Amino acid sequence: MSFFGIFPCLEGKKVLILGMDGYIGWPLALRLLARGHQVTGVDSFITRRRVREVHSDSLIPIDSMAERIRKASRTFGEPGFVRFDVTDPRRLYSILEKEKPDAIVHLAEQRSAPYSMIGLKQATETMMKNIVSTMNLIYATKDIVPESHILKLGTMGEYGTPNIDIPEGFFEVNYHGRSDTLPFPKFAGSWYHWTKVHDSNNLMFANRLWGTAITDVMQGVVYGTRTSEIESSSSHTRFDIDEVWGTALNRFCAQAIAGLPITPYGKGGQTRGFLSLEDSVQCLTIAIENPPKNGEYRVFNQYDEHYSVNELASKVVEVFSSLYPDRKKPGILHTANPRIEKEEHYYNPENVKLRELGYRTARSLETEISIILQDVMKYSGRIRRLKDVIMPRTSWKESSGKSAVAGTEKKK
Ligand code: USQ
């Protein structure tokens, strides 16, 4: 158990989690309940459906929401839950009327960059779901609970990989003899990442219009299978390893256990901010328990350390070899990069604000990789069934609208 998880919060809050069924949503619900907050969740279960559409599944089996709630209630307290899609403003207004939450955490967005790059249909679905759900939340909060705090999950990918340091949201600019504090320029690398930029702009404007209190979290890539509360309740969160829904380090661990080569794309020098699931949940909890001042819009860069994908691949090989000395050492295969991104670049984002509020890294990278490998090993039989969906296929260059157009013609 992390140091942070031991002590319950003195002042319980009412928290609404949009996207409570997701990879981060469920462990966050457990953590907040364990700390004495009242939690209600919303989800449409779209991630479960979309993952099955690419013939994949969570490697670690997950319970139905009814079973999740039963397990949470036995250990920490009962969360409320309502099933709907946040793009439906009527349902969102009605739950805010009913719950009157102190904080609303918005995790209910399409979260896969490769999914958004499959073609026009997926790109527009991502745009629509993400931007509309955030607009619904902005208006519903202003109309029903104007004092509430919106905690919105954005992404470090909004900034791209500029050749200068990245501040937390804003920076001082001097130009032609004049200076101002301005939002740092955004340069996203997928339709998905651009939706998060559009969300950030809309949230910033809502704050200017109505003074809505907002935390816009620029989160790095999350890895891991467990938090303290997952361990004590045996209520697992999903763990995706396929090329569309799985993320780098989680996939590398699964590849090592499956006996497949680990796949840094291209040269593998692409560097991102990473943090464990335990740390992600810790940071979001800190943001909820330390809300922005009335009328404040603040930006947190939420990651622990930055690594290149080559560094992560080598780390997985190293930890795997010491855990399983008798097994064949995993290979590393630099596959052609399906994405359009810099493969060697400068990267130095700032991440001090959460540390100032008390965030401390829960476990070292090596410890976390070792835990993931051992958890994944328990499902090595299931990995064999998912082998065909692990290697990269979704190409940024080949993303096309033709199949969506062909679908329309057929209907006529
Ligand atoms: N990568 C590989 N090999 C793989 C998978 C990924 O080299 O097998 C590379 C990608 O090319 C990329 C980097 O790893 O340069 C990160 O890719 P990813 O698939 O782990 O993560 P990404 O698509 O960027 O998106 C994920 C989450 C998203 C979140 C984002 C944070 O799916 O929801 O917003 O991480 S960030 O990357 O900081 O924008």
Every domain of the chain and the residues it spans = 14-391
Q: State yes or no: pLDDT of 142 exceeds 80.
A: yes
Q: Is 111 in the pocket of ligand 1 (CB under 6 A)?
A: yes
> What local confidence, expressed as pLDDT, does residue 8 receive?
61
Banded pLDDT at 87 (limits 50, 70, 90):
very high
Given a cut of 80, whether residue 57 has pLDDT beyond it is yes
**100 C-alpha vs ligand 1 centroid, how far in Å?**
35
Mutation pick for ligand 1 pocket among 109, 158, 221 (CB with most ligand atoms within 8 Å): 221
User: Quick check: is 192 catalytic?
Assistant: yes
pLDDT one-digit tens code per residue, 185-204:
999 999 999 999 999 999 99
Q: What is the atom index within ligand 1 of the atom nearest the CA of 111?
A: 33
- Torsion-angle region of residue 79: left (phi > 0), alpha (psi -120 to 50) or beta? beta
**Ligand 1 centre distance from Cα of residue 273 (Å):** 10
The whole-angstrom separation of Cα 325 and Cα 294 is 56
**Ligand 1: which of 309, 316, 339, 389 to mutate, most ligand atoms within 8 Å of CB?**
309
Confidence of residue 59 (pLDDT cuts 50, 70, 90): very high
155 given a catalytic annotation: yes
- pLDDT of 10 reads 61
Q: Can you say whether residue 172 is alpha, beta or left, with left for phi > 0 and alpha for psi between -120 and 50 degrees?
A: beta
pLDDT at 293 over 80: yes
**Ligand 1 touching residue 22 (CB < 6 A):** no
Q: Which segment of 194-208, 220-234, 261-275, 377-391 scores lowest on mean pLDDT? A: 377-391
pLDDT band at 403 (very low <50, low <70, confident <90, very high): confident
Mean pLDDT along residues 13-31: 98
Q: Which atom of ligand 1 is nearest to the CA of 255?
A: 8
Q: Is 365 touching ligand 1 by the criterion CB < 6 Å?
A: no
Residue 262 CA, ligand 1 centroid: distance in Å: 14
Is residue 412's pLDDT more than 50?
A: no
For the cut 50, the answer to whether the pLDDT of residue 320 exceeds it is yes
| Residue 283's pLDDT band (cuts 50, 70, 90) | very high
Confidence label for 408 from pLDDT (cuts 50, 70 and 90): low
- Ligand 1: does its nearest atom lie under 6 Å from the Cβ of 113? yes
pLDDT reading at 9 higher than 70: no
pLDDT in tens, 95-106: 999 999 999 999
Q: Among 211, 185, 156, which Cα is nearest to 350's?
A: 156
In the block, residue with structure tokens 């209907």: 411
Residue among 23, 115, 159, 192 flagged as catalytic: 192
Please determine, for residue 1, whether its predicted confidence score (pLDDT) is greater than 90: no
User: What top-level class would CATH report for the domain 14-391?
Assistant: alpha beta
Q: Atom of ligand 1 at shortest distance to CA of 266?
A: 7
Q: Minimal CA–CA distance to 297: which of 351, 352, 216? A: 216
The CB-side HSE value for 400 (13 A sphere, CA atoms) comes to: 6
* Candidates 134, 196, 237, 307; catalytic one: 196
Task: Determine if ligand 1 sits within 6 Å of the CB of residue 264.
Answer: yes
Q: Work out the pLDDT band at 384, boundaries 50, 70, 90.
A: confident
Average pLDDT taken over every residue of the chain: 96
Residue nearest atom 35 in ligand 1 by C-alpha distance = 221
CA distances for 298 relative to 149, 172, 206, 353, angstroms: 11, 16, 13, 10
Whether 236 lines ligand 1, by a CB cut-off of 6 Å, is: no
Average confidence (pLDDT) over 127-133: 98
pLDDT tens-digit readout, 214-236: 999 999 999 999 999 999 999 99
pLDDT tens readout for residues 144-156: 999 999 999 999 9
Q: What is the pTM of this model?
A: 0.96
Per-residue pLDDT averaged across 329-356, rounded? 98
> What was the pLDDT predicted at 11?
78
SS (H, E, C) 202-260: HHHHHHHHHCCEEEEEEECEEECCCCHHHHHHCCCCCCCCCCCCCCHHHHHHHHHHHCC
Residue 407 has pLDDT above 80, yes or no: no
Of the two residues 7 and 332, the one the predictor is more confident about is 332
Is the confidence at residue 94, as pLDDT, over 60? yes
Indicate if ligand 1 lies below 6 Å from the C-beta of 155.
Answer: yes
Cβ(116) – ligand 1 distance below 6 Å: no
- The residue from 40, 47, 134, 155 that is catalytic is 155
